[in-house]
Amino acid sequence: MADYARNRMFFASSTTLMLVVAAYMSFSLLWHEPVPMGWRIPLTILLFLVSQTITGMRVLITWRPDLPFSLVRIGGFISSSFMVLSWIVILRDALLALTFAFSLFVPQLESAEDVIFSVLLSPAAEWIMLAASIAAAGFGMARALAVPSVKRVDVPLQGLPKDLDGLTIVHLSDLHIGSTFTGAWLEEVVRRTNELTPDFILITGDLADGRPERIGSLLRPITKLRARFDVVISVGNHDYYSGLRRWVETWRSWGMTVLLNEHRKYEVNGRNVVIAAVTDPCAVLFRSLDESMGAPDARKALEGAGEGLKVLMSHRPGHAEQNAAFGCHLQLSGHTHGGQFFFLFPLVSRLNGGFRSGLYRAGSMPLYVSPGTGMWGYVPMRLGVGAEITLLTLRRADPIVPQKPTYRGKIGA
């Protein structure tokens, strides 16, 4: 599991947020009639303890790095159930607020208001909400932990040479080995990926949640990935948290291609194909790392690339339009997990420049955002979006009308 000593700010903010949510939920669920007074304080304490599951797991894993996966997944199930319940409570309270507001303007609805309030605030309704959150978390967790299926996507590229029409790229992202998945899960991902016989396999960051000495054997199956030309790794924020320098050394010792603000050229059917990658913005928090692992720099990554098809790997999708201006023809990203829960879709999109999951056009450049092949283990749940092994096939396309620099359109939408 990752050593998050350099990521204390995230855990401090998440701890505070969960305490605030627990306070709101306890007030909304427990501190009203007909909930018995004798239940309110102990249930409030329980709710506050449950809200700190993520923080508690972090402390346990720091203390016991060899914590069994079964305990990690139990913690993930509890935190997932808490998150779903919090949203159910918010939806219920929104309905109560709307009912109250309507009754102020339509006095005839006062009797209906009394009925709605008595039903939704009853202990029976709250037990149903709890049961629904547990069931949803169980369903979402089963979906999240399954080996993902293959999603096939045609990517239209204007000006693509005829010789490169049909070029295939398998896009993997956010494996999070160590916090969620074991080597057995990764072995099956590798098998399904190799069956596609792609030209390239590109992995856009967050491979590891843990240091090489602890989880190196779990991640080593990536060395069995096979592509016609190359398997290329770019890095994400969790790779930094997990000790990036040691991981880069480890991956390269395994014979893997790792790109850090740099590119590599390949001759494909007589044409030049450039695979470039940038680092992650969280690099600014790790000042002890050498310059090559510093802040992302697309200009530097593409310097000297020359002519040809340019594919950029960037863990986060937010700067896609800027990268298109540097001459990239296609960007591959991850990081968002597709929003993970449908009620978080708007927030995740907003935090990532309007991009959440799927194929977009960023300026004149296509951008594919993977919802993740794996996911982070502290909240292992997917509702409304699945994981995927993405097979991208590049296709020649007619020229498109140029868009404004701020345009974010989803291709095919």
Q: What is the pLDDT averaged over residues 7-14?
A: 70
How far is it, in rounded angstroms, from Cα 267 to Cα 231? 15
How far is it, in rounded angstroms, from Cα 27 to Cα 15? 19
How far is it, in rounded angstroms, from Cα 224 to Cα 220? 8
Determine the pLDDT at residue 259.
98
Strands 150-158 and 365-369: unpaired
CA proximity to 356, closest of 340, 375, 343: 340
Q: What are phi and psi of 305, to 5 degrees?
A: -70, -25
Determine the pLDDT at residue 65.
65
Q: What is the pLDDT averaged over residues 122-137?
A: 95
- The domain spans of the chain are 4-143, 147-410
Residues 6+ apart with CB under 8 A from 268: 163, 164, 167, 199, 229
What are the residues facing 231 on neighbouring strands? 201
What digits encode the pLDDT tens for the residues 13-33? 788 999 999 999 999 999 988
Determine the pLDDT at residue 7.
59
How far is it, in rounded angstroms, from Cα 271 to Cα 306? 12
What digits encode the pLDDT tens for the residues 312-343? 999 999 999 999 999 999 999 999 999 999 98
What digits encode the pLDDT tens for the residues 262-293? 999 999 999 999 999 999 999 988 877 888 89
Determine the pLDDT at residue 187.
96
How far is it, in rounded angstroms, from Cα 241 to Cα 215? 14
Q: What value does the mean pLDDT of the chain take?
A: 90
405 pLDDT more than 60: no
Q: What are phi and psi of 318, to 5 degrees?
A: -60, -30
Range 201-234 burial, b when 16+ CB lie within 10 A, else e: bbbbbbbbbbbbebbbebbbbbeebebebbbbbb
Between 3-12, 46-55, 130-139, the lowest mean confidence (pLDDT) is in 3-12
What digits encode the pLDDT tens for the residues 100-120? 988 888 877 778 888 999 999
Q: Which fold is adopted by the domain 147-410?
A: Purple Acid Phosphatase; chain A, domain 2 (3.60.21)
Between 51-60, 146-155, 368-377, the lowest mean confidence (pLDDT) is in 51-60
> How is 300-324 classified by DSSP, letter by letter?
HHHTT--SSEEEEE-SS-TTHHHHH
400 pLDDT more than 60: no
How far is it, in rounded angstroms, from Cα 45 to Cα 65? 28
Determine the pLDDT at residue 404.
44
9 pLDDT more than 80: no
Q: What is the pLDDT averaged over residues 160-187?
A: 92
Cα-to-chain-centroid distance, residue 222: 20
Pair 296, 283: CB distance under 8 Å = yes
Of residues 386 and 413, the one with the higher pLDDT is: 386
